[in-house]
Chain A
């Protein structure tokens, strides 16, 4: 008999073992809810981002394992689509339209103002963590621009002054709706 000490060798690392419990639950619930769908990956990613606000990179191995995909495939999909984000956003996300119809009525200067007011470039978050600024290519509000959407709330004919009111008031009680 060998005297050598037996060291257990981990033959399978549990995918997503390093995910915080809340994130793990969110991912598994999304997967279990949608896995039977044809082409389930996008609905699953949407469900995760709806719940968490982002898709934690550490969740990708778990998603891949559950769907029997490679991690590369899941990574490829998450990174292909502009809407899916792998960084935790601020409390609210501002989707500011950069497209032509809004450009025709001042979107370029509104974007410049928004970046100054929030102290961040596109894809970044304001210093106080309240707002993430994302560019968007058309919100379909093309006759009433410049347009932006704060979370799910759409605003039209947004001037720099109106922008300041909207972020000053906070998204919840703000504005048009």
Chain B
């Protein structure tokens, strides 16, 4: 009898050698005359254990990791195909505490199913949400999503149901569904994991959105830095068309939904929704003035729903299990769960999907296990390159949109980047300004010019050139950017800069930044 072995095909696992492991496993099995069926999956997001190999046994899926190609002869000798003992044996994968304690509402199928096998998706609850939605009136779907309390997971946390209602109520012969898969924030990878591990879930969520607002066309705007996600999504969309889940007659309902995948081209600003729309239309990704809202005049001036990958992917379970089920998770106005990403200098980095409300400290130490370098954590940046740098004193903040905002930060897309005590916070502040200068779309002056002036002021500050004056100047500049920029790039770049200055002032009085700049 053939034994089923699961090995990820997801990008991080590949970057750590998953293809070589799969190859070695097939070769070693052939050499020993063992019959093995290898299924390539997404990743569960336990990255310090990747490549994680799971073996289907009578006692469930037994995990081994991190496995390198050279470990295979030893694993076969230890009879790992029957869950045999080995130093890499982690036991039943579902009982790994890191995974067991999570609440995987949106990411439950990651690493479990073959991402491009529609039957596998259906066997794990896939398309049940859409089946429930098909007989419903569009307004009832919108109401369900509104009542679930789902808010945009891309960072802005705008209530999804209200956005959908605006598009639903907007008149127009053509409406669009656009998925923002331009996951440019450093420290975030949940969109990528979902697209590589459960692409049909995104397709299903977008299809439900289309039914809800009366849209017939959709686009996924994917960043070109994600070639593996591009491959998986391309395959999944083709399968969905072939199976009648997309196209002129979605699941025999008579309703049409066409979905196309489009590639970005390395511009961070295209993660801003209006820039994204400009880019989709074939232009420079310069942001648009708002109003009009994209919900009313979006893609090609038509009413458009623009949501993040995780937002759409959270919709199927809401339609499958009901708004109340989803709403019962979370705290305050942050309902449901958030796929949190632990990144940077962290011992156990990866994906942690939990209901809102867990504390930053719990994430950093209980899940993350401190730094990878073994040194103390000095700072964390939550919410991407535009998020504030926080010191230890803020680690008890619960993961909740309002709590983070009250503390002067933002939860954003849920990415947490960890730095140990070797970090130079003045260099990080300088980088924030430099990044803004590189990625500014150029439309508004505070962002376009302010970011370059910001780099210069920080350089002079660190060099000790009339330091007190430079500080005043820098704060004044940040104030201008914060209040005068058109979008979040210029408007939020002051957050990492000012937080570094406020909490790590000592780093601004040594000449490290200039040296870093010369390197």
Contact = CB atoms under 8 A, between A and B. Distances in A.
Interface of A: 37-43, 45-46, 73, 76-77, 80-84, 95, 99-105, 108, 111-112, 136-145, 147, 149, 152-157, 176-177
Contacts, number: 179
Contacts of A95: 225
Interface in B161-204: 183-189, 192
B517 to A, nearest CB: 11
A95 to B, nearest CB: 7
Contact of B349 (A112, A142, A154): A142
Interface in B263-283: 263-268, 279-283
A177 B19 contact: yes
A139 B11 CA distance: 9
Contact of B225 (A37, A84, A140): A140
19 contacts: A37-B260, A39-B262, A39-B283, A41-B282, A46-B263, A76-B283, A77-B284, A81-B285, A83-B267, A102-B186, A105-B372, A138-B183, A140-B225, A142-B188, A143-B12, A143-B343, A143-B350, A149-B225, A154-B14
Interface in B244-265: 260, 262-265
B16 A177 contact: no
B19 A176 contact: yes
Which of B266, B279, B372 has most A Cβ within 10 Å?
B266
Nearest to B17: A176
Contacts of B381: 100
B142 interface: no
Given A42-B264, A142-B341, A143-B189, 14 more contacts: A39-B282, A45-B265, A77-B283, A80-B284, A101-B187, A105-B373, A137-B438, A142-B186, A142-B415, A144-B349, A145-B343, A156-B12, A157-B15, A176-B19
Interface string B329-363: 00000000000011111100110000000000000
A104 B20 contact: no
Contacts of A46: 224, 263, 265
B47 interface: yes
B492 interface: no
A142 B187 contact: yes
A142 B344 contact: yes
Contacts of A84: 265-266
A43 B47 CA distance: 33
B385 A176 contact: no
B374 interface: no
Contacts of A76: 283-284
Interface of B: 11-12, 14-20, 47-48, 50, 183-189, 192, 224-228, 260, 262-268, 279-286, 300, 341-346, 349-350, 372-373, 381, 385, 415, 417-420, 423, 427-428, 431, 435, 438-439, 441, 516, 519
B343 A136 contact: no
A82 B20 contact: no
A120 to B, nearest CB: 15
Given A43-B262, A137-B435, A80 B344 contact: no
B336 to A, nearest CB: 23
A81 B102 CA distance: 38
A59 B494 CA distance: 40
Contacts of B50: 144
Nearest to B23: A177
Contact of B344 (A43, A105, A156, A157): A105
Given A77-B284, A83-B266, A112-B519, A100 B15 contact: no
B14 A143 contact: no
B12 A104 contact: no
B189 A38 contact: no
B186 A138 contact: yes
Contact of A141 (B11, B372, B428, B516): B11
Contact of A104 (B224, B420, B519): B420
B186 A83 contact: no
Contacts of A156: 12, 15-16
Nearest to B278: A39
A149 to B, nearest CB: 8
A142 to B, nearest CB: 3
A61 B283 CA distance: 16
Nearest to B441: A80
A152 B300 CA distance: 32
A162 B15 CA distance: 12
Contacts of A154: 11-12, 14-15, 228
